[in-house]
Amino acid sequence: MIRLALGVELRGLLRSPLRLLFLIVVLVVGWVVIGQGQADVERWQMAIQEGEAAQSESIEEARSWFSEGVTGPADRPWINLTQAHYQDYFAATRISRLPAPLAGIAFASAEHGAVTMRLNRFADPLVAHGSEIENPALDAAGGLDLVTVLSLLIPLLVLALGVELGGYERSSGLLSLVRVQSGRDSAWIWARCLAVGLIVTVVALALCGLAVSKGGVTLGDGAPLFSLVVIYVGVWTALLALVASISRDPSHGAVLLGGAWILLCVIIPSLAVEQSAALAADDFALDLTVEARGERGATYDLSESDLYAAVYERFPDLRAVEPDPRNAGVRYARDGVRFAGLEERMRGRHALASSQSDLVSMMACASPTLALTHALEGLAGRGPAAAQAFRESAVAAIGDRTERVIRADWGPDSLGAEHFESLIEASPGAVALPPFGVQRELLILGGWLLGLLFLAASRTQRA
């Protein structure tokens, strides 16, 4: 029966210019946004390359002074590369966030975290800007990328292809005819739903396949994307089957399907955004701004013993190279205390952000669209978790750099080219973020699928 239903749906599709047009629109928009996504990934990589070029200029400049046997340039005599401070300044390597293989699919994400930042002991990844200048007027529109196409347009395609399903058979009396002829009227409705689902799955998988091939991703790495999309189409197909089992006529079906789409794709996400705005209402980042500035200033008020105690609490290994006299190392000790403050702020921010992430997790259960969006942004490495992971890597690298610089200053040796090179070598460079696990979202979507299938089946049995 499924082959028969598939034939009917394909013929129906070819005969209906509106449906065919909608399918073509989805494919064309999908193709365009995949291209745009790829261009965005190239801009991302370009930003990293520009950062690395600026870094190598600074490093080469310092190397040239070493090779000339001087400690700095003639026109800036205060620069002295035998001091740890200037070594840190000129070895300001970049720490970069490599784009995830599927980064292009979510290029319209509102997450604009930094992709590359200068690494020295004064860097503050918590207030670093992204590599792109954004136009807020365009950002506020919500963005159109493959994530939007898959989460909003694909369900609409299911609706467009199956809007009359069930209702048409019932209102025209066809269903009774099928029942009389084969006694399997519900099987016919299910077969038609499945046929619609198959057509939409092929369209969605074609778009995902294109995104995977453009992103140079292996099929294995693309498997989570394919799985999510197949289950998501399954959810909407099951919803179609449920509506088909109860719709009295095409008009009734259209309203029910339209209502379901609006509820799941617009109203529930809107409630979530409203809740998110309420959570963020009182956050004016005082911890990252006024208080951070105050903490930095307060390091000058600490007594020498308190200062060293605070440094050793964070960097216990530095006890071994404590300078003699102690006051010779005070300047760099303050950097150690400032870094401890940065780490503290990062932990505080993490706790604050977790209320937002809990909200997203909770709302993802209430709408398959939110679950899919969250999973795809995560797969693309564009979500808050990716930005947070990069900030954590950057802060860890700054901690390492700070310890090295303090050790260099406090140590007995005079600093030379080998110290400078060791600073560069110890910098992490590019950071590839850990892969995002989509198990939770797969479970949520699977739950929706099973729940809707159960409802549709029980409804059909009752009918």
Partner 1 sequence: MGSIFWNEWRGLLRDGRGRLVFGLGVLLAALSAWASAATFAAQEAAQAAAVDTARCAWDEREGDSPHSRAHFGDYVFRPSGVMSALDPGLQAVTGRVVFTEAHRQNDAMHHPQQAASGLLRFDRLEPSSVLQVLAALVIVLAGFGVVSAERESGRLKLLQVQGVKPWQLLLGKAAALWSIGLAICFVVVGANVLLVEGMDLGRVLVFFLTHALLLWVVAALVTCVSAGAKRSGTSAAVLLSFWVAGAIILPRLAAMSASALDPLPGRDAFQAAMQEDREKGLDGHNPLDERRKKLEQEILAEYGVQTRAELPVRLGGLIMQADDEYGAKVWDKHFGELEEHLLRQDAFAGKFSFVNPFQAVDRLSMAISGTGLSSHLEFLRQTEDYRRELVRRLNEEDAYGVELNAEGRLQRTTTQDFFLSFKSFEYSPLGLNELVGRQEADLLALSLWVLGATAALALTSRGMAGGIVS
Query: What part of residues 161-180 is at the interface with partner 1 (CB under 8 A)?
Result: 163-164, 167
Single out the segment in contact with partner 1 by CB under 8 A; choices: 153-161, 232-240, 405-413, 420-428: 153-161
Name the 3-class secondary structure at 148. Answer: helix
Please report which residue ranges of 281-383 form alpha helices under DSSP H. Answer: 290-298, 304-314, 330-366, 368-379
Within 288-317, the residues that bind partner 1 by CB under 8 A are: 288-291, 293-294, 297
Single out the segment in contact with partner 1 by CB under 8 A; choices: 256-264, 315-323, 395-403, 417-425: 256-264
Looking at beta carbons only, is 144 or 321 nearer to partner 1?
144
Single out the segment in contact with partner 1 by CB under 8 A; choices: 43-51, 95-103, 330-338, 413-421: 43-51
By rule CB under 8 A, what count of residues binds partner 1? 98
- Whether omega before 428 lies within 30 degrees of 0, making that bond cis, reads no
Separation between Cα atoms, residue 379 and residue 406, nearest integer Å: 39
Interface residue with partner 1, options 42, 60, 61, 132 (CB under 8 A): 132
Within 323-352, the residues that bind partner 1 by CB under 8 A are: 352
At which residue do the structure tokens 């047009």 appear? 21
Interface map 71-90 toward partner 1 (x if CB under 8 A): ----xxx-------------
Within 366-385, the residues that bind partner 1 by CB under 8 A are: 370, 373-374, 377, 382-384
Interface residue with partner 1, options 50, 57, 60, 425 (CB under 8 A): 50
Q: Does 437 bind partner 1 (CB under 8 A)?
A: no
Interface residue with partner 1, options 59, 105, 123, 153 (CB under 8 A): 153
At which residue do the structure tokens 């010779």 appear? 328
Contact 162/199 with Cβ under 8 angstroms?
A: no
Contact 103/433 with Cβ under 8 angstroms?
A: no
Separation between Cα atoms, residue 72 and residue 185, nearest integer Å: 87
Task: Report the nearest approach of partner 1 to the CB of residue 442 (Å).
Answer: 16
Q: Does 147 bind partner 1 (CB under 8 A)?
A: yes
Interface residue with partner 1, options 353, 366, 396, 455 (CB under 8 A): 353
Looking at beta carbons only, is 257 or 340 nearer to partner 1?
257
Interface residue with partner 1, options 136, 173, 183, 325 (CB under 8 A): 136
Please name the helix (run of DSSP H) or strand (run of DSSP E) that holds residue 26, with its range, or none: helix 17-68
- 182-189, Cβ contacts within 8 angstroms, sequence gap of 24 or more: 184/1, 186/245, 186/460, 186/463, 187/1, 188/1, 188/5, 189/165, 189/241, 189/244, 189/245, 189/460
Contact 231/442 with Cβ under 8 angstroms?
A: yes
Task: Report the nearest approach of partner 1 to the CB of residue 139 (Å).
Answer: 4
Within 53-72, the residues that bind partner 1 by CB under 8 A are: 54
Q: Does 186 bind partner 1 (CB under 8 A)?
A: no
Sheet holding 116-118, edge to edge: 116-118, 94-97, 430-431
Interface residue with partner 1, options 7, 259, 416, 437 (CB under 8 A): 259
Contact 61/90 with Cβ under 8 angstroms?
A: yes
Q: Does 280 bind partner 1 (CB under 8 A)?
A: yes
Q: Does 113 bind partner 1 (CB under 8 A)?
A: yes
Within 11-30, the residues that bind partner 1 by CB under 8 A are: 29
Q: Does 201 bind partner 1 (CB under 8 A)?
A: no
Q: Does 286 bind partner 1 (CB under 8 A)?
A: yes
Residue from 253, 181, 158 nearest 173 by CA? 181
Residue type, 253: G
- Alpha-carbon dihedral sign for residues 76, 82, 88, 93: positive
Single out the segment in contact with partner 1 by CB under 8 A; choices: 184-192, 193-201, 215-223, 283-291: 283-291
**Cβ contacts of 116 within 8 Å, gap of 6 or more:** 47, 48, 51, 94, 95, 96, 97, 131
Looking at beta carbons only, is 281 or 320 nearer to partner 1?
281
Q: Does 36 bind partner 1 (CB under 8 A)?
A: yes
For residue 291, give both structure tokens. 């208080």
Q: Please, what is the end-to-end C-alpha distance for the chain in angstroms?
A: 20
Looking at beta carbons only, is 282 or 324 nearer to partner 1?
282
Task: Report the nearest approach of partner 1 to the CB of residue 127 (Å).
Answer: 5
